[in-house]
């Protein structure tokens, strides 16, 4: 961890679904401007952590501290934009019966009812969307319905939508899953660019080569708790981490 | 006016009233994905507000209509607040409940609505402005007025559908939780469109009461809401032209039944059966409706 300024600190975070603790007394610090990977076997609580940070599920107890200052015991999903957080989803969630271009334009819209009612999308909105579509290689698909895209294209569109939010924190939940080589290159290029721009990326991923290539720091979760943390090469060699993935 | 012209004018007037209802409901169901079965309640509120205010307070038709729209909008706001607690199937059931409550009020609040007797002698609009004297007792003129309002409501709905606001509504329809992550509080957007739709339906109610010069609870039963919903599903969800087409089919179908030889007394009932069969076939072969851009 190179940066000692934390953009997110999670203290004693708990989330349970009935009697099952998906996140159990989790504490960790995420430094600003780095790519931080969260790994762990399926069901270890990685996606629940992202859902908690993005207000998709309610925090049972614990606190999320932003920028070493703002303490949050509750996060509402429609407020995370104000906290400069955006995300993608493990299972892609697009606006299926809308065109590719509308899937992107919608996040550039005025957030208030009255503001959006009388808003006309300006030329720069459209140009921004066109640029983003070129960046992810979907410019030829812009007038297609999102539901007609291939799986990889859907993932790319979701990433493009998150990028248009221009936030400080990006939560990417398995962005490489199911992508072809060329698409993996596009997405890893995007993550590298975000790091260059000083943005913070929290990456949930299973591909160890990509984790080594992209991450500055790695947290390993198991059964809702933190199992290990450190720089990728050292963490991925730890016996406890290998056992959590492969079994004892 | 000879009988044929009178008959065509009547059909076009009824088409226009149903088209307003269809366009208003399509904003809620087709564009926002909220399956509401209570449009007849707002239709009724518009009809009763116009009839009562015009008759008892002596207001003109347009002022009465405006008050009807405001009343329907306020009631829409209250109902919308309650509906915000519900989703999917529960949402539908609660809207059904509201229609039943509205019908119960129209039927049983005798001192206000005269119950099943209804309100008679509802006045027609009149315009006396800057030397212009128009009396809408003439059905042809009345049709022209309803068509003007249909056009206004159609273009307002089109403006909404094409605006950024409309795009957010569609995103709410597709994935409410996902759009919230991007900073939109879906609650306010859903409430706003529900209130707008209620106000539009009240306009249709005002014209209906004034056209027939009479209003009674039996027009605003739950089946009427089901019929309006079926109409937009048939014509096409999230397509305003589809609402017009649905209304056209709805109004013309019983007339066609008459022409193919069904006796008058069973033509209306047969309409329900044929309409039901068309809907079943459509759901099997084209679930988005004839011109629809959204599949439930």
Q: What DSSP string describes B149-213?
A: HHHHHHHHHHHHHHSHHHHHHHHHHHHHHHHHHTT--HHHHHHHHHHHHHHHHHHHHHHHHHHHT
Examine the pLDDT at B266 and tell me if it is beyond 60.
yes
Q: Residue A41, SS3?
A: coil
Candidate from B165, B179, B182 with C-beta closest to A117: B165
Per-residue CA distances from A137 to A65, A125, A157, A203, B97 (Å)? 36, 18, 9, 22, 49
Candidate from B167, B175, B181 with C-beta closest to A109: B167
Q: Which bin fits B44, alpha (ψ -120 to 50), beta or left (φ > 0)?
A: alpha
Q: Which residues of A touch B182 (CB under 8 A)?
A: 81, 86, 106-107, 161, 165
The pLDDT value recorded for residue A2 is 56
Examine the pLDDT at A11 and tell me if it is beyond 80.
yes
Structure tokens of B241?
A: 């032209």
Examine the pLDDT at B204 and tell me if it is beyond 90.
yes
A155-169 per-position pLDDT tens digit: 999 999 999 999 999
Q: Which residues of B touch A54 (CB under 8 A)?
A: 181
**For the CA atoms of chain B, what is the radius of gyration?**
19
Q: How far apart are CA B243 and CA B171, in angstroms?
A: 21
Q: Residue A119, SS3?
A: coil
Candidate ranges B5-9, B145-149, B262-266; pick with highest mean pLDDT: B145-149
Please report whether residue B295 resides in a domain.
no
The pLDDT value recorded for residue B140 is 95
Please report whether residue B261 resides in a domain.
no
What is the distance of C-alpha A34 from the center of its chain? 13
| Number of C-beta neighbours around residue A21 at 10 A | 18
Q: Are B250 and B44 in contact (CB under 8 A)?
A: no
Please report whether residue B281 resides in a domain.
no
The pLDDT value recorded for residue A1 is 57
Could you tell me the residue range of the domain that residue B33 belongs to? 3-222
- Tokens 């600190």 belong to residue: A9
Examine the pLDDT at B270 and tell me if it is beyond 80.
no
Please report whether residue B131 resides in a domain.
yes
Please report whether residue B267 resides in a domain.
no
Q: Give the mean pLDDT of B125-136.
A: 86
Q: How far apart are CA B183 and CA B185, in angstroms?
A: 7
Structure tokens of B12?
A: 């076009």
* Vertex B97 angle, CA B96 and B98, to 5°: 90
Q: Determine the length of chain A.
A: 248
Please report whether residue B285 resides in a domain.
no
The pLDDT value recorded for residue A238 is 85
Examine the pLDDT at B68 and tell me if it is beyond 90.
yes
A104: pLDDT confidence band, cut at 50, 70 and 90? very high
Please report whether residue B192 resides in a domain.
yes
Q: Give the mean pLDDT of B82-104.
A: 95
8 Å CB contact of B160 and A109 = no
| A:B CB pairs within 8 Å | 97
- Tokens 């398995």 belong to residue: A174
Please report whether residue B246 resides in a domain.
no
Q: Give the mean pLDDT of B189-195.
A: 97
Q: How far apart are CA A203 and CA B217, in angstroms?
A: 60
Q: Give the mean pLDDT of B163-190.
A: 96
The pLDDT value recorded for residue A244 is 77
Per-residue CA distances from B5 to A10, A71, B10, B11, B247 (Å)? 75, 72, 8, 10, 20
B277: pLDDT confidence band, cut at 50, 70 and 90? confident
Domain count, chain B: 1
Pair type for strands A70-72 and A61-66: antiparallel
8 Å CB contact of A82 and B183 = yes
Percent of chain B residues past pLDDT 70, beyond the cut: 99
8 Å CB contact of B180 and A119 = no
Candidate from B163, B174, B177 with C-beta closest to A116: B163
């Amino acid at each position: 961890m190179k940066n000692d300024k934390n953009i997110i600190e999670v203290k004693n975070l708990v989330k349970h679904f009935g009697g099952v603790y998906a996140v159990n007394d989790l504490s960790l610090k995420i430094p600003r401007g780095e790519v931080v990977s969260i790994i762990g076997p399926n069901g270890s609580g990685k996606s629940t952590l992202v859902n908690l940070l993005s207000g998709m599920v309610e925090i049972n107890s614990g606190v999320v501290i932003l920028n070493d200052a703002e303490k949050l015991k509750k996060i509402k999903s429609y407020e995370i934009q104000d906290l400069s957080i955006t995300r993608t989803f493990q299972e892609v969630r697009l606006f299926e019966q809308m065109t590719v271009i509308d899937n992107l334009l919608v996040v550039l819209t005025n957030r208030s009812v009255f503001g959006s009612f009388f808003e006309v999308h300006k030329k720069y909105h459209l140009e921004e969307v066109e640029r983003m579509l070129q960046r992810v290689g979907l410019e030829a698909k812009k007038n297609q319905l999102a539901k007609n895209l291939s799986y990889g294209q859907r993932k790319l569109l979701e990433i493009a939508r998150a990028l248009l939010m221009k936030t400080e924190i990006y939560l990417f939940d398995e962005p490489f899953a199911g992508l072809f080589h060329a698409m993996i290159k596009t997405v890893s290029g995007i993550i590298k660019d975000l790091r260059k721009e000083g943005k913070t990326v929290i990456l949930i991923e299973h591909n160890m080569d990509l984790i080594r290539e992209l991450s500055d720091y790695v947290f390993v979760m198991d059964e809702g708790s933190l199992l290990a943390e450190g720089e990728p090469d050292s963490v991925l060699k730890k016996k406890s981490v290998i056992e959590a993935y492969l079994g004892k | 006016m000879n009988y044929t012209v009178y008959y065509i004018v009547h059909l076009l007037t009824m088409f226009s009233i149903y088209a307003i209802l269809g366009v208003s409901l399509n904003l809620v169901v087709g564009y926002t994905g909220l399956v509401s079965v209570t449009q007849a309640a707002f239709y009724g509120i518009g009809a009763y507000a116009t009839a009562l205010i015009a008759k008892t307070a002596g207001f003109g038709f347009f002022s009465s209509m405006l008050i009807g729209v405001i009343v329907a909008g306020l009631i829409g706001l209250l109902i919308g607040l309650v509906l915000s607690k519900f989703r999917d199937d529960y949402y539908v059931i609660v809207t059904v409940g509201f229609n039943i409550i509205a019908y119960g009020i129209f039927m049983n609040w005798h001192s206000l609505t005269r119950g099943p007797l209804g309100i008679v002698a509802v006045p027609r609009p009149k315009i006396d402005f800057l030397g212009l004297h128009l009396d809408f007792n003439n059905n042809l003129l009345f049709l022209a007025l309803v068509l003007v309002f249909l056009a206004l409501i159609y273009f307002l709905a089109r403006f909404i559908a094409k605006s950024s606001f409309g795009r957010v509504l569609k995103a709410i329809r597709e994935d409410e939780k996902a759009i919230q992550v991007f900073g939109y509080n879906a609650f306010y957007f859903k409430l706003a469109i529900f209130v707008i739709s209620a106000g539009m339906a009240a306009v249709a109610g005002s014209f209906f009461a004034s056209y027939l010069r009479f209003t009674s609870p039996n027009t605003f039963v739950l089946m009427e809401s089901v019929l309006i919903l079926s109409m937009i599903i048939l014509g096409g969800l999230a397509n305003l032209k589809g609402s017009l087409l649905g209304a056209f089919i709805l109004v013309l179908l019983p007339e066609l039944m008459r022409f193919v030889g069904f006796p008058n007394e069973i033509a209306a009932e047969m309409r329900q059966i044929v309409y039901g069969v068309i809907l079943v076939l459509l759901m099997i072969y084209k679930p988005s409706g004839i011109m629809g851009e959204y599949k439930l």
